[in-house]
Amino acid sequence: MIKRGRIVAFFLLILLFAGTISTTIQGITKDIRLGLDLQGGFEILYEVTPIEEDQDLNRDVLEDTVELLTNRVNVLGISETNINIEGEDRIRVQLAGIDDQDKARELLSTSARLSFRTIDDDQIRINDKPLSLEMDEESTDTSPDTEEGEIFDGNDLVEGSASQEFGPSGAPIVTLKVKDANDFASVTEKVKSLVNSDVSVPYSPNAMVIWMDYQEGDSFVEELQKPADERKYISAPNVDQTLMTNNVQINGDFTKEEAQELAKILNAGSLPVNMEELYSNSVGAQFGEQAMNKTILAGSIGIGLIFVFMMLYYRLPGVVATITLSVYIYLILQVFEWMNGVLTLPGIAALVLGVGMAVDANIITYERIKEELRSGKSTISAFKAGNSRSLSTILDANITTLLAAIVLFSFGTSSVKGFATMLILSIIVSFLTAVYGSRLLLGLWVNSKALNKKPGFFGVRQKDIQDIADDEEVEPKVFGRSFDFVKHRNKFFAISILLVVFGVGFISFTGLNVGIDFTSGSRVQIQADNSVTAEDVEQDFQDLGYAPKKVVASGDNKDVAVVRFDKVLTKEEIAEIKSEIGKQYSSAENVSTSVVSSIVGEELVKNAIYSVLIASIGIIIYVTIRFEIYFALTAIVALLHDAFFIVALFSITKLEFDITIIAAILTIVGYSVNDTIVTFDRIRENLKKKKRVKTFKELSEIVNRSLMQTLARSINTVLTVIFAALMLLLFGATSITNFSFALVIGLLAGTYSSLFIAAQLWLVWRGSMLKKKPIKYEEKKKPSGPQV
């Protein structure tokens, strides 16, 4: 008798899910913070160094610096700000959705240390000693004339006293207050008394030069020769009387906005440290919007294909999978919003890939259920056995992928961390939805008895079902055929060896087109209004005085130009390029830049090596604990095989190899081990059934049967993940094209190695030791008799 209440419960749950998602999803997506690559903005990594040699650079100093930087950012009215301390001497600043990036960059890098100097660039002390001028061009000494008394500088001003006013002539000025009028009187008295009898100069010796962030080597005399708007000092008023006052007035060729900004910078406070840019990345707003739209479209197509495939191949279980996958996507976004996470372009890619990986748990379970149905079991028995026997496989496969994702998060850059965070979330949430969600929903149908004697709802044909009374195992077939993989193992080994030798030769002779992430340098990307050619863009840069190393035109309509430099562009050069090149092709907002110093480049290389090694060691340890050392070592050989083919193909195609490719390799490492473990788990299960294996022939039969039993799962899983990766490659943003290409290649290589390398290698290795160490699986006997 059909229990209709369970079917009603199924549809009520569907209505509950649909109602919850439809009424809340808009609010969730609206509240998720977008990263720089999706809405524009810039990111800078600063190295912090002491101002004085004896200054202690501790955590308190770094926290004070972060607070001061935050105050400065508030001047710009930017709401989405992220300023973090990294390590012992670094600060990373991320500003999203900012209009004037050059202005913000200048504001952040300014130390805002005011100094008052004479025209020969000497500092002025508060004492009774007279000053003297040394205008000799060979003189480089800019220390005060005496060592007595304190230097008069920004520390003698009242905090927060700066304001923009208008002078007697109506010109904008900045006013300040000094703490002690007597100190200011002493200083102005000394400057007023200065004479220059030794060298004739065409300007007054009684000027007090006010500098912002004076650096060693700066010269008032040299700056005076420049146009007024290019001079580094702020003002140089003539002092002709002693000023006994708390009020200081700074005159200059200011606009009202410039005077207001100067006042705000001074009020925000001077930085207690020096900061040097190690890495920077800026993204134009239009770039971000286009990238987001294209990637969401690509992801939607990929996910749609996965849904259609699951429903066509697995019938009713496939429908259940699409429901749980929809809930999975909703939960991922909800949890990400609760975490106050920042969604980046790689993060969207991870979400889309996560759908492909999440469906793997469904496929493993559904294939086991189909296998049990073919053996002649009832629908309820097949459902229970399939879920029970697939759980440990799913758990092992997810943990190894999780290990790779955690390593990726630990060693990745900020954008890679975003990818890793989403990947970790995807693995955890998919385990809950695919295992428990699918069991709940499909269980309602199975336990309602509506599916009894209806294997077609699971994609199983009646003629493939054998009588349960037969003791023989169901012969595993794919596409109605059985394949002897083990028989051709030497051919597979030979193919891999030849490809590896070819790849090593290609890499040795041609190398990799390594990106600036690993070599240091600069990258400029231009979103043009019309089609461009690499030659024209290169010529325009040369006309500006820049010599690009490489220029590539890309995009659907060849409207994107990527220009690479070996040198690290300064912030002034970046501003010039954005202004001039942006004006020629579109606007400054449509020019994105990325700059990596040699220090960061070396660190990224080191971290990339560490990440692969640590992920490999972690996987070896886990697989050894769960299986045995022979399984672990052959799994590592397989994943290194897959990683190598990605590197080799990047060498052959000359595509740029950057930090995101390391993220792709580690993702494939996790996926490859996931795939391999599913096969190993079935080998172990079949060994337990056999209990004792003495000959190589027996072992090879078990390995081949295990490969055939997991073949459908391997094919279907790689298809679903490739649907996602391929759509990202074909329709996604250009900035993740290489990343998507690496994933597609890695997925194909991972499936090949799982079927034809890992299991076969284990067979050869373990089979060679059978005479000395036969395989035995014996159940522990329960003790008989009374227990005390």
pLDDT tens per residue across span 639-685:
888 889 889 999 998 888 887 888 788 778 777 777 888 888 888 88
394 assigned to some structural domain: yes
- The reply to whether 637 and 719 lie within a common domain is yes
Q: In the chain, helix, strand, coil percent, each to 5?
A: 60, 15, 30
- The reply to whether 498 and 456 lie within a common domain is yes
- The reply to whether 641 and 761 lie within a common domain is yes
- The reply to whether 722 and 683 lie within a common domain is yes
What's the confidence (pLDDT) of residue 588? 76
DSSP state of 277: E
In the chain, the percentage of residues whose pLDDT exceeds 90 is 8
* Residue written as token pair 């008295």: 189
Query: Which residues, 6+ apart, have CB-to-CB distance to 231 below 8 Å?
Result: 223, 224
Is 0.85 surpassed by the pTM of this model?
no
Task: Quickly state the pLDDT bin for 497 (edges 50, 70, 90).
Answer: very high
- pLDDT over 50 (residue 92): yes
* For the ranges 256-265, 528-537, 547-556, the one whose mean pLDDT is highest: 528-537
620 assigned to some structural domain: yes
Q: Is the dihedral of CA 436, 441, 446, 451 positive or negative?
A: negative
- The reply to whether 664 and 705 lie within a common domain is yes
25 assigned to some structural domain: no
137 assigned to some structural domain: yes
- The reply to whether 441 and 541 lie within a common domain is no
User: Considering 46, 79, 110, which residue would you say is the last residue of a domain?
Assistant: 110
What's the confidence (pLDDT) of residue 295? 85
Q: Which residues pair with 166 in a beta bridge?
A: 172
CB 459 within 8 A of CB 313: yes
- pLDDT over 60 (residue 558): yes
The CATH number linked to 582 is 3.30.70.330
The CATH number linked to 69 is 3.30.70.3400
- The reply to whether 298 and 378 lie within a common domain is yes
* For the ranges 43-57, 405-419, 717-731, the one whose mean pLDDT is highest: 717-731
CA terminus-to-terminus distance, the chain: 48
Query: Which residues, 6+ apart, have CB-to-CB distance to 728 below 8 Å?
Result: 295, 298, 299, 302, 349, 352, 353, 736, 739, 740, 743
CA–CA distance, 666 with 643 (Å, rounded to integer): 8
Task: Quickly state the pLDDT bin for 787 (edges 50, 70, 90).
Answer: very low
359 assigned to some structural domain: yes
pLDDT tens per residue across span 193-228:
877 654 455 667 788 888 877 888 888 888 888 887
679 assigned to some structural domain: yes
- The reply to whether 674 and 527 lie within a common domain is no
Any idea how long the chain is?
Answer: 788
Query: Which residues, 6+ apart, have CB-to-CB distance to 261 below 8 Å?
Result: 75, 107
User: Considering 574, 596, 618, which residue would you say is the last residue of a domain?
Assistant: 596
What's the confidence (pLDDT) of residue 193? 82
- The reply to whether 564 and 618 lie within a common domain is no
- The reply to whether 388 and 412 lie within a common domain is yes
Mean pLDDT taken over the chain:
82
- The reply to whether 215 and 349 lie within a common domain is no
Query: Which residues, 6+ apart, have CB-to-CB distance to 164 below 8 Å?
Result: 172, 173, 174, 256, 259, 260, 262, 263
Structural domain boundaries enclosing 60? 36-110
Other CB atoms within a 10 A radius of the CB of residue 190 amount to 23
- The reply to whether 325 and 443 lie within a common domain is yes
In the chain, the percentage of residues whose pLDDT exceeds 70 is 91
407 assigned to some structural domain: yes
Task: Quickly state the pLDDT bin for 415 (edges 50, 70, 90).
Answer: low
What is the residue-wise DSSP string for 395-406?
HHHHHHHHHHHH
CA–CA distance, 356 with 479 (Å, rounded to integer): 23
* For the ranges 11-15, 257-261, 693-697, the one whose mean pLDDT is highest: 11-15
Domain count for the chain, please give it: 4
Q: Which residues pair with 133 in a beta bridge?
A: none
User: Considering 596, 621, 648, which residue would you say is the last residue of a domain?
Assistant: 596
- pLDDT over 60 (residue 263): yes
Which residue pairs, CB below 8 angstroms and at least 24 apart, start in 403-406?
A: 403/615, 403/618, 403/619, 403/622, 403/670, 404/615, 404/619, 404/666, 404/667, 404/669, 404/670, 404/673, 405/666, 405/667, 405/670
Of the candidate ranges 340-344, 405-409, 579-583, the one whose mean pLDDT is the lowest = 340-344
- pLDDT over 70 (residue 414): no
77 assigned to some structural domain: yes
